[in-house]
Amino acid sequence: MLKPNNGKEPDSKILVTHILKLSEDIFREIKLSVPPEWLTSDMTVAQLRVLLLLHAEGQSRMSSIASSLEIAVSTATGIMDNLVKKELVTRGADTEDRRVVICALSPQGQETINRIWALGQFQMEKLLRGLSPEQLAKAKEVAEFLLLNVKSQDVNSKGNIQ
């Protein structure tokens, strides 16, 4: 239980710590349903990071991808080669400068991202299922507070809240 701060409301740091602890407890309690094809997938974490980056940023230069992921351009090129072979990413030259390589999600790559999103939505629905209408109204209110908070804060190019 939370302990008040000298009879006042608990301070924000204590509340955030408590919320994060509850989040960990929820994560441990729910049974994540991972699609079987993901367990046997040959996609690496680095490749998934590139797909997520291209989804968030849209088509990007190879150098920008490497910079965003804080990896060497040669490493990004190797990752991209594998994603192109898997038909998850397309690669082409910039129309203004043929030396510049532009990468984008292919339709199959976008479908992969959509499946990841759908799994997350399914997990959230499982968390909300069984709550009373009053509890759902509170959950909706919290979600609205979080959205307003994110919108009101500066977000840097890597998606981190400042």
pLDDT per residue as tens digits for the range 47-73: 999 999 999 999 999 999 999 999 999
CA distance 128 to 123: 9
Report if pTM > 0.85.
no
Task: Assess contact for 50 and 89: CB atoms under 8 A.
Answer: yes
* DSSP code per residue over 42-64: ---HHHHHHHHHHHHH-SEEHHH
CATH topology of domain 40-110: Arc Repressor Mutant, subunit A (1.10.10)
Strand partners, 101: 93
For the chain, the distance separating the N- and C-terminal CA atoms, rounded to the nearest angstrom, is 30
Q: E strand or H helix at 146, and its extent?
A: helix 133-152
Kindly indicate the confidence band of residue 90, based on its pLDDT and cuts at 50, 70 and 90.
very high
Which pLDDT value is given to residue 6?
Answer: 55
* Residues 6 or more apart in contact with residue 24 via CB below 8 angstroms: none
Bridge-based pairing of strands 89-93 and 101-105 is: antiparallel
Return all residues near 31 (Cβ < 8 A) that are at least 6 apart: none
Residue 155 has pLDDT above 70, yes or no: no
3-state class (DSSP) for residue 39: helix
**Averaged pLDDT for residues 70-89:** 95
| Among the listed residues 57, 22, 38, the one whose alpha carbon sits nearest the alpha carbon of residue 159 | 57
Domain boundaries defined on the chain: 40-110
> What are the E-state strand segments in 7-157?
60-61, 89-93, 101-105
Would you state the pLDDT for residue 162?
47
Both tokens of residue 97? 């400068």
Q: Find the mean pLDDT for residues 101-109.
A: 94
- pLDDT band at residue 124, thresholds of 50, 70 and 90? confident
